[in-house]
Amino acid sequence: MGSLSSPKRVLLLTNSEHGQANVFLATSYALLTLPDEDVEVHFASFPAIHKSVLSTYQYAKHDKPLARPIIFHTIPGIDMVSAWLRPEIALDRVNMNQARIGLIRAIRRMRLLLRVTLPWLGPEFVEIFSAIVEIITNVRPFIVAVDPAFSPALTALRYLDQGDQHPNSFRYVILSPNTIKDFAMPFQPRAQALWKYPCIGKAYPFPVPLLYIPWNIYLILFTIIVAAFLDSNRRSIQRHLALHTGRKGQVTTLNDLSLRPGRMHVKFLVANLPEIEFPLRVIPRHIIPCGPMIRPAKPLEEADPELSSWLSQGGMTVYVNLGTHVVFDEAGQRDMAQALKILLDVANGTLRRDTDTRLRGLKILWKVPGFGKDSQEESPIYSILGPDIESGDVRIVNWFQAEPTAILQSSNLVCAVHHGGANSFLETVCAGIPQVILPPWMDCYDFARRAEFLGIGRWGNRLASAASENSGKLCDTKELADGLIDVVLPPDLLPTPTDSLETLSSKMSALAAIIQRHPSDDISATNGS
C-alpha cells in the first residue's frame, strides 16, 4: 500500500456513542496492525470517544510498535445522544407513553423513532455538516468509512460526491454495527419486508403471524410516508442546509440508506454474517457481511484482577449488563432483583429440591448505574438480595474497569443478560455464551427475536414489552425468572430438554466457531482497490 513516507490515509466518521463507534475502534486497530501495510488512520467524532481512540492506539502499538498514532479530529457541536436526551424530545417521549389510543401511540412511536438519528436542530446540523466537509477537504483521505447513523456525515459525503466540490477523488463505504437485514429489506421478493419481518418497535414474533400482518404492513408504510413527507424536523434541517450549500446539499439519514440505498451507490460493510441473521432470500452485492467487529481489550486479569479472582472462585456466574443508558427505577430494580432471587433459590435448592449440584453456588454479577455503597441499603435491590450481596454470591457494581468483551471471555459465565444492542449481542455470540435479552426500546427487539430464532437465548421481557407498549416497564418478575431458569437450569431438570442450557451452549459454541473461521474483509479489499 505504500512506503512509510507515503501512508494511505483512512478517515473514519462516527458518532461518539459506543453502540456505533465500537466497530470504528475495532477497524482502527485492524488497520494499524496490518502486517505489511502503512496506514494513517484519521478518526473524526465528538470528544466523548477520544479516550477510547487513544487506548485503541495503545493496543495497536503493543502489537505493532511501528503503528502510526491515530489522528483525532474533534467535531464541534452536540453529539447524537445528548441531542436526543434534551428535555423537548423527552417531553415527546412522555406524551407518546401517555397516549391511550393505539393508533395515535403507534404513529407517535414511529415519528419518534425516526428522530433518533436526526435529533439536531437546523443550525446544529449545519455546524456539524460544515465541520465534516472541512475535515474531509483537509485530510484528503484515500477512503472514508462512515457510520450509517451519523446523518451529518452521510449528508456531507453525498454533497461532496455530487460533482466538483472536492478537489481530490476519494472513495467511501458504510461501516455499520447493524445487521444485513437492516439494509437488505427493500430487495426481498414478494414484498416480504412488509408481511414477513416484524416492523421495528413491535414485539411480534418472526415470521409475523397472520393475525398481525395487516397492522405490520400499515406501520411500515406509515414509517415510509413519515420519513418522506411528514417529518417537520427534517424539513427544517433541509431548509437550513439549502441556505448554507446553495440547495446542493440533501439531508441523508439511516432511513434513506435502508429504503433508498441506490441514492449513494456505496458498499455497506456490516458486522454480521448470514449464519447469525434471519433467513434472507436476497443479499445484495453491495452489502458485505464482514462478521462481528470486536474492538481489542485488556484481558480481565490485567484490567481488573480482583473481579477476575471473584469470577474464578466458586460456581458459575450470570452476567447482567444492560448498558449505560438503561436506567433502573425502583420498580425496575425490584422486578429484576426478585427474578434473580428466584433463580438463585432454584439453583441452591431452596425452591426445588432436585436441583443439580452443578448449579450450587451460582453467582450474579450485575451492573446497576448509580448503585453505590452509600445508598445500597435503601435500595429495593438490597432489601431482596441483601444476604446474597453480603455473602458474596451477588456482586453489584455501577461500572466496570474492564471492557465487556474481557468479562465475557471468562470461562465461568453461564449466561449473559443484556439490553439487545448490536454490540452486546455480537460480543456475547463471539464468547459462545447463551443470552437472555431485555430490550428496553424499539430497535433492540430485533436482537431478542434473533436470539430465539437462532436458538441461542431467550427474549426475557416479550410479554412485558407487548403489555407496556413502551410505558417504561422493563420486565416482569415471573417472565424474566422463567427465561433465566430455562437458560441456566441443567437439561435433565427441564420439562423440554431441547430448550436446555446444554443445547443453547452447543449452538452458541457452533456459532462462535463459525465466526472465528470467517476471515473479515478489510476496507480496501471490499472496495476493489
**Range scoring the smallest mean pLDDT among 25-29, 125-129, 357-361, 498-502:** 498-502
Q: What is the DSSP string of 219-244?
A: HHHHHHHIIIII-HHHHHHHHHHHHH
Handedness of CA 330, 335, 336, 337 (dihedral sign): positive
> How far is Cα 421 from Cα 444, in angstroms, rounded to an integer?
6
> How far is Cα 321 from Cα 424, in angstroms, rounded to an integer?
9
At 129, the pLDDT band (50, 70, 90 cuts) reads very high
**Range scoring the smallest mean pLDDT among 359-368, 394-403, 512-521:** 512-521
Q: Which of 198-207, 257-266, 500-509 holds the top average pLDDT?
A: 198-207
The stretch 476-496 carries a mean pLDDT of 76
At 527, the pLDDT band (50, 70, 90 cuts) reads very low
- Looking at residue 500, its pLDDT comes to 52
pLDDT tens by residue, 195-221: 999 988 788 889 999 999 998 998 888
**Is a pLDDT exceeding 80 seen at residue 396?**
yes
The stretch 175-179 carries a mean pLDDT of 92
The stretch 455-464 carries a mean pLDDT of 89
**Is a pLDDT exceeding 70 seen at residue 400?**
yes
**Range scoring the smallest mean pLDDT among 178-187, 238-247, 291-300, 519-528:** 519-528
**Range scoring the smallest mean pLDDT among 239-248, 278-287, 429-438, 469-478:** 469-478
**Residue 187 DSSP class:** G
- Looking at residue 246, its pLDDT comes to 81
The stretch 116-142 carries a mean pLDDT of 94
> How far is Cα 477 from Cα 386, in angstroms, rounded to an integer?
18
Q: Which residue has the cell 445522544?
A: 81
At 307, the pLDDT band (50, 70, 90 cuts) reads very high
**Is a pLDDT exceeding 60 seen at residue 360?**
yes
pLDDT tens by residue, 323-334: 877 777 788 889
Which amino acid is located at 201 in the chain? G
At 97, the pLDDT band (50, 70, 90 cuts) reads very low
- Looking at residue 262, its pLDDT comes to 60
Q: What is the DSSP string of 319-364?
A: EEE--SS----HHHHHHHHHHHHHHHHHHTTSS-TT--GGGTT-EE
Instruction: Give me the helices (H) in 267-421, please.
Output: 300-303, 305-312, 330-347, 380-391, 404-408
Which residue would you say has higher pLDDT here, 353 or 29? 29
**Is a pLDDT exceeding 80 seen at residue 188?**
yes
Q: What is the mean pLDDT of the chain?
A: 83
**Residue 41, strand partner residues:** 10
pLDDT tens by residue, 416-428: 999 999 999 999 9
**Residue 176, strand partner residues:** 270
The stretch 435-447 carries a mean pLDDT of 87
At 278, the pLDDT band (50, 70, 90 cuts) reads very high
The stretch 179-187 carries a mean pLDDT of 92
**Is a pLDDT exceeding 60 seen at residue 374?**
no
> What φ, ψ does residue 288 adopt, rounded to 5°?
-110, 105
- Looking at residue 169, its pLDDT comes to 62
- Looking at residue 269, its pLDDT comes to 95
Ordered domains of the chain (ranges, CATH): 8-104+116-183+233-294 (3.40.50.2000), 300-516 (3.40.50.2000)
151: enclosing H helix or E strand: helix 151-160
The stretch 113-133 carries a mean pLDDT of 91
Handedness of CA 335, 466, 118, 52 (dihedral sign): positive
**Is a pLDDT exceeding 60 seen at residue 167?**
no
